[in-house]
Structure 1
Amino acid sequence: MSTELETRVLRKITLRIIPFIMLLYFIAFLDRVNIGFAALTMNQELGFSPTVFGIGAGIFFLGYFLFEVPSNLILNKVGARIWIARVMITWGLVSGGMAFVQGTTSFYILRFLLGVAEAGFFPGIILYLSFWFPMKRRAQVTAIFMAAAPLSTALGSPISGALLELHGFLGWSGWKWMFVLEAIPAVILGCVVLFWLTDRPAKAKWLTDEERDWLMQTLAAEQNTKAGSSHVSVWKGLADKRVIALSLVYFGTSAGLYTLGIWSPQIIKAFGMSSLQVGLLNAIPAIIAVVAMVLWARHSDKKVERTWHIIGACMLAAVGLIYAGMVTTVVTAIIALTLVNVGISASKPPLWSMPTMFLSGSAAAAGIATINSIGNLGGFVGPVMIGVIKEHTGSFTGGLLFVAALLCLSSILVWLLSKSANRQNSAYRASHSKSS
C-alpha cells in the first residue's frame, strides 16, 4: 500500500510541478542567452568589438552574483509563489528593454540589471524541489527540470534566428524584435505563477489528506536523518568548505555552459551560415544533450553515485571544447559542440543533488544560492575571455582551450571533495565502532 501511495504521490507532484517550472526555466534561459543571436547583427550595427560584447554578455553574472543569496533567502521566507513571480516579471521587463540599447554603456547597464532581476530564480527552484521531492528522486527531477536549458537552446535557437529575419519591419532591426517578443512570455508567466505554484506540501489542496500526510512525513524523516550532520544556520551553510568546493566546480561548468550559449551562434556563423541556418544548426547539439542529460541523471540515481558522474561529464565537455578549437568544417563544429553540450548538461543534475545531502533549512537556501552565485561567475569569465582572446588572436581556439582547462579543474575538485568525504566517513565509522 505504501509503495502504491508513494508512486501516486510522486506522479501527481511531478505532473503538477515539473512541466510548469521547466517552462519557466525555458523562458529564463532563452532571455539569458538570446544575446548570442542578437550579436549576429547587433554587434555590427552598434559597433561592438568581441571584447565589448564578451564583457556585456558576461556582466549579467556580476548582477546575478551580488543579489543571488539575498534573493534566495527572501524566497525561503516569503515563499516561492510570490518571489518567483516577482523575479519573472522584472526580468521580462528588463529583457524587453534590451531592444533600446544605444551603445556600450546602456548595453552594460541593462545586462547587469537583467542579472539583478533574475537573481534567485534558478537556486530558488532547486530549493523548491527539495521541499517536494524525497532525496532518492531529486537528481532525476532536477535533470528533467534542467533539461529546459538545452531544450531552450534547441527550440529557442530557430525562433531567435527567425526573429532576426524581421529586420526592417516597422523600421526596427531584427535583434530589437527578438528581444521584445521573447520577453513577453516571462511577464505573462510571472502572473500565472501567482495562481499555479504552491509554496509547501502543507498548502497543497490538490493532494488528498493521505497523500499530503505521506509526503510531509517522508520529507520530515529525511530532515531528521540528516539533522545530526547537516548545517541549518545561514552562516554555517555559507562557510561550509563543501559549499565553497562545489561553487568552484560549478564555476567551470558555468563557463562551459555560457561559452556555448553566448558564443556558439558566432562559431557556427563563421562558416558562412545565414541567421536562420545558424538557429537550426545550433539546435542539433542541444536536442542530443536533452536525452543524454536525463539518461545520465537516471543512471546516477540508480547507482546512488555522484562523483564520477560529474567528473566523466566535465571531461567529455573539455574534450569537446578542445576539439571545437581545431575544427575546419561546419559538420565537425556541430560534432564538437554536441560533445560540449552533452558533457555540460549531464554534469548539472548530479552536481545539484549534492548540496541538499548535507544542508537543510536556511543553510540550504544560502548554500545553494552561494554555489550558484559564485559558480555563475564562470558565466562572466568564460564569455569575456573568449571575446578578449578572439580580439587579440582572431580565433576562438585560445578561449575554448581556456574554458576546457576550467572544466578539467572542476573534475579535479570533485575528486578531491570525494576523497575528503570518504576520509570523514571512515573516521566517523571508526569512532562509532570504538564507542559501541
Structure 2
Amino acid sequence: MQAGKCGAMSAWSGCDVQGGTPAEGEYRVTAKGGSELQSAISKAGWRIIPLLSVGYLFAYIDRVNVSFASTQMNIDLGFSATVYGLGAGLFYLAYAMVEIPSNVLLMRFGARRWLARIMIMWGLLAISMMFVKTPTQFYTVRFLLGLSEAGFFPGVMYYLSTWFPTKQRGKAMGLFYVANPLAVFVMGFISKPLLAMDGLYDLRGWQWMFLIEGIPPVLIGLAVLAFLPDRPDEVKWLSEGERESLRVAVAEHPQKHEDHSAGGMLAVLADKRVLLLTAIYLLTLAAGTTFILSAPAILMERTGWDIGHVGWLISAGGLTAAAFMLIGGWITDHRGERYTVLYVALGFDVIGYLMIAAAPSAWMVAAGLILSQIGRGAHSTAQVALWADVLKDRRMAIGAAAISSVANLGVWLLPIGFGMAKDATGGYTFGLWAFPVMHVLAIVATVVLMRMVRMKKAGTAA
C-alpha cells in the first residue's frame, strides 16, 4: 500500500503507511475500508459515549456529593471527621470487593443489562442517603452504595475496548472519563442552591441534595436498557462493511505477539507492568478522591471563603480538569505514547497540592487547586489509556477491574486516616501534606514502568 493512498485515514485505520507487507500487529486496509472504519467509529462515538458519560457523571456525583452535604449533615447528625471519613471511605471498600465479580457478570449478561442494573440500583441507594440518622446507618448505606456501583467504571473501560481500536481508544476513554471532573463542576455549581432548599417540606438541604441527585441515574439506567448495544455486530446503524472494518480494527493490537495464554486475574496481577499501573492509580486515585471528599471543608478552612465562593472554585477546578482530560487524551493519541503526559501532569499535581497545603493567601490556595486539577485531568486519561495498551482482548475486563479494585482499597483507607488527622490536629493542614508525597511516588512508579516497557520492547526487537 502506498502512503498517499492511506493519507489522512491512517490515524483511524492503522494501515501500513510505509508500503509493502503490513507489520505484525497491523493490517492492510483499502481506501474504502478506511472510510468505512472512520464512519463506524464516528457513529459509535456519537451513539455510545454521550449516554455512558452522562451515567458516569451522576455516578461520580452520587459518590462524592456527600462532601457538600457534610457541611450541614455532620453538624445535624453530630458526626466527627473520623466518623465522616470512615463512612465516606466505606464506599470504596465495598466497591473494591465486588468489581472483579461484577465485570465477570457483565461479560456473561452483556453490557446493556448489567450497566443498567448498576445505575438503577445506585440511584435508589443514593436517594436513601436522605434517611440516614446514625453513624451505623451512614456506614451501611455508603457500603451498599459501593456494592451497587462496583464494576461500572472498569466495565465501561472494557466495553469501550470492544468498540474502539487502539489508536482511538485514548480519545474515546477521555471523552467518557471527562464526566468525572465535569461532575465536580456540576456539584460546585448546584450544591449551594440545593443546600439552600433547607426547610422546604421539613427536609434539610442535604436531604434535598441526595434526593434530587439520586433520581437521574435511575432514569439513565432505563435509557441504557433501552438503547445501549452490546456488540457492533448486532446494531442496525452500522453497514455490513462498517461492522467488518470495525471488527478487524478492534481485533488488532500493536503488542499482539505477546503470550497471554495464562488467563485469569492472578496472571494479570503477576505482570509487573500491571502492578506498577496499579501503584500509580492507587496513589493518584486515593489522593485525589480523599481531597474531593473533603474539598468544601478544606477550602473553606484554607481560604476563609463561604460555601458559595468555595463551590464556584470547585466548579472552576472541575471544568479545568475536564478540559485537560480531553487535551491529555488527544496528546497521548497524537504522540503514540502516554508517559510524557503522565510526568508533566503528575508534576502539576505535586505543585498544586503543595500550594493548597502551604500557600499563605486564599488566592494562592485557589491557584493551587487549579494546578492540581490540570494535573488530575491530564494524568487520568493517560493512565486509563495505558491500561488498554497493556491488557488485551477480554483480559481487559478482568485487568481493569483488578487495578481499580486494589486502588479503591487505598481510597477506603486514606479518608479514614485523613479524618483522624483532622480530629487530632484540629485542622486539615497536616493531612494535606500526604497528597504531594503520593504524587511524587507515582512519578517514581511511572519512571520504572516506562523503563520496563522499553526494555521489554528492546528485548523483543532483538
TM range (shorter): over 0.9
Kindly indicate whether residue 449 of structure 2 is the aligned counterpart of residue 417 of structure 1: yes
Pair 1:232–1:349, CA change in 2 (3 A): farther
Q: Report deviation, 1:372.
A: 0.8
Query: Contact conserved, 1:65 with 1:377, CA < 8 A, in 2?
Result: yes
Listed as ranges, the matches of 1:15-164 within 5 Å are 15-164=46-195
Q: Report deviation, 1:272.
A: 4.3
- Structure 2 runs not aligned, ≥5 long: 1-31
User: Structure 1 CA distance, aligned partners of 2:226 and 2:329?
Assistant: 31
Query: Contact conserved, 2:81 with 2:423, CA < 8 A, in 1?
Result: yes
Pair 1:255–1:342, CA change in 2 (3 A): same
Which of 287, 305, 312 pairs up with 2:337? Answer: 305
> What amino acid does structure 2 have at the position aligned with 1:153?
V
Q: Report deviation, 1:80.
A: 0.6
Q: Report deviation, 1:386.
A: 2.2
Query: Contact conserved, 1:98 with 1:179, CA < 8 A, in 2?
Result: yes
Kindly indicate whether residue 264 of structure 2 is the aligned counterpart of residue 234 of structure 1: yes
What SS class does the counterpart of residue 205 from structure 1 fall into? coil
Partner of 1:327: 359
> What amino acid does structure 1 have at the position aligned with 2:427?
S
Q: Report deviation, 1:327.
A: 2.9
User: Structure 2 CA distance, aligned partners of 1:185 and 1:153?
Assistant: 16
Query: Contact conserved, 1:238 with 1:366, CA < 8 A, in 2?
Result: no
Query: Contact conserved, 1:232 with 1:363, CA < 8 A, in 2?
Result: no
Listed as ranges, the matches of 1:124-273 within 5 Å are 124-222=155-253, 226=256, 228-230=258-260, 233-235=263-265, 236-270=267-301, 271-273=303-305
> What amino acid does structure 2 have at the position aligned with 1:357?
D
> What amino acid does structure 2 have at the position aligned with 1:199?
D
User: Structure 1 CA distance, aligned partners of 2:115 and 2:373?
Assistant: 27
What SS class does the counterpart of residue 296 from structure 2 fall into? helix
Give the TM-score, by structure 1 length.
Answer: 0.94
Query: Contact conserved, 2:74 with 2:84, CA < 8 A, in 1?
Result: yes
> What amino acid does structure 2 have at the position aligned with 1:324?
I
> What amino acid does structure 1 have at the position aligned with 2:363?
V
Partner of 1:287: 319
Q: Report deviation, 1:238.
A: 3.5
Q: Which moved more, 1:34-43 or 1:355-364?
A: 355-364
Structure 1 stretches of 4+ moved >6 Å: none
Cα RMSD after superposing both structures:
1.7
Q: Report deviation, 1:275.
A: 3.3
Kindly indicate whether residue 372 of structure 2 is the aligned counterpart of residue 340 of structure 1: yes
User: Structure 2 CA distance, aligned partners of 1:318 and 1:111?
Assistant: 30
Query: Contact conserved, 1:231 with 1:359, CA < 8 A, in 2?
Result: no
> What amino acid does structure 2 have at the position aligned with 1:71?
S
User: Structure 1 CA distance, aligned partners of 2:347 and 2:92?
Assistant: 24
Q: Report deviation, 1:192.
A: 0.9
After superposition, give the CA deviation of every residue in 1:113-137 in whole Å (9 maximum; x if it has no partner): 1111100000001111100001011
Query: Contact conserved, 2:157 with 2:397, CA < 8 A, in 1?
Result: no
Partner of 1:434: none
Query: Contact conserved, 1:389 with 1:396, CA < 8 A, in 2?
Result: yes
Partner of 2:411: 379
What SS class does the counterpart of residue 376 from structure 1 fall into? helix
> What amino acid does structure 1 have at the position aligned with 2:324?
A
Query: Contact conserved, 2:112 with 2:224, CA < 8 A, in 1?
Result: yes
User: Structure 2 CA distance, aligned partners of 1:410 and 1:245?
Assistant: 9
- Structure 1 runs not aligned, ≥5 long: 431-436
What SS class does the counterpart of residue 20 from structure 1 fall into? helix
Q: Report deviation, 1:228.
A: 3.5
Partner of 2:431: 399
Query: Contact conserved, 1:232 with 1:360, CA < 8 A, in 2?
Result: no
After superposition, give the CA deviation of every residue in 1:306-356 in whole Å (9 maximum; x if it has no partner): 123212212211221111011344322221111111111211111111222
Query: Contact conserved, 2:313 with 2:366, CA < 8 A, in 1?
Result: yes
Which of 1, 5, 8 pairs up with 2:39? Answer: 8
Q: Report deviation, 1:227.
A: 5.3
Give the TM-score, by structure 2 length.
Answer: 0.89
User: Structure 1 CA distance, aligned partners of 2:57 and 2:157?
Assistant: 15
Which of 404, 413, 429 pairs up with 2:461? Answer: 429
Kindly indicate whether residue 337 of structure 2 is the aligned counterpart of residue 296 of structure 1: no
User: Structure 1 CA distance, aligned partners of 2:311 and 2:455?
Assistant: 48
After superposition, give the CA deviation of every residue in 1:77-117 in whole Å (9 maximum; x if it has no partner): 21110100110111111111111111111111111111111
Q: Which moved more, 1:379-388 or 1:415-424?
A: 379-388
Kindly indicate whether residue 355 of structure 2 is the aligned counterpart of residue 315 of structure 1: no
User: Structure 2 CA distance, aligned partners of 1:231 and 1:122?
Assistant: 26
Query: Contact conserved, 2:274 with 2:390, CA < 8 A, in 1?
Result: no
Query: Contact conserved, 1:233 with 1:361, CA < 8 A, in 2?
Result: no
Q: Report deviation, 1:230.
A: 4.1
User: Structure 1 CA distance, aligned partners of 2:413 and 2:89?
Assistant: 7
User: Would you say how many aligned residue pairs link Structure 1 and Structure 2?
Assistant: 429
Percent identity for Structure 1 against Structure 2? 35
User: Structure 2 CA distance, aligned partners of 1:232 and 1:301?
Assistant: 29
User: Structure 2 CA distance, aligned partners of 1:211 and 1:182?
Assistant: 38
Q: Which moved more, 1:77-86 or 1:319-328?
A: 319-328
Q: Report deviation, 1:8.
A: 1.6
> What amino acid does structure 1 have at the position aligned with 2:146?
G
What SS class does the counterpart of residue 226 from structure 1 fall into? coil
Kindly indicate whether residue 307 of structure 2 is the aligned counterpart of residue 275 of structure 1: yes
